[in-house]
Amino acid sequence: MRRLSWIGIGCFVVAFVVSGFFLVQLLRTIPGTPAPVDQGPVQLDGVGLTIFASERGAGQSCTAKDASGAPIALTEPSRSEQFDDAGDVYYVVAHSVEKVPAQAVEVSCTDQSATYFAGRRHTAATFLGPAFAALGSFALFGALGTVLIVVDQARRKRAPRH
């Protein structure tokens, strides 16, 4: 094999390594199970706050405070949202308006008809960045590797044989 073919194979290796890095980043963005709010402060492991209820349509009857005691502005989702985790379904009641950094937050809810949970904010953008980066890097380096190998093979066929 010639130099271009080896570089092409190297591009495939780079494609797998770089896309694997972004896949690991994607796996890290998968949120964990939300924590019950009736057991004290909830430790957020990522940016943003989402409050969930055990029942659909529980309504926003919750308030939240950050680690310093300042209130966190909350808004109801514009559409019905839910989070499924290992067979458990959590219905979104509220999201933080601003990006709340990872910290301990205190959540209290007045409506006692449902059980409430809190966790980091779940957004599509959180998942799309690493997903597109993984796909894009694999496509870019994979295409480059393919082009190099094809060019090398075409040169070999055209080269005079001794």
pLDDT of residue 35: 85
> Are 9 and 85 contacting, i.e. CB atoms less than 8 angstroms apart?
no
Residues contacting 115, CB < 8 A, separation 6+: 36, 38, 53, 54
In angstroms, how far is CA 65 from the centroid of its own chain? Answer: 25
Mean pLDDT in the chain?
86
Amino acid at 114: A
State residue 55's pLDDT score: 82
Is the pTM here over 0.85, yes or no?
no
pLDDT digits (tens, 9 = 90+) for 103-146: 899 998 888 778 888 888 766 777 788 899 999 999 999 999 99
pLDDT of residue 119: 86
C-beta of residue 148 within 8 angstroms of C-beta of residue 4:
yes
Q: What is the pLDDT of residues 57-79, one digit of tens each?
A: 766 678 899 889 999 999 888 88
* Per-residue pLDDT at 40 exceeds 60: yes
User: Do the Cβ atoms of 67 and 102 come closer than 8 Å?
Assistant: no
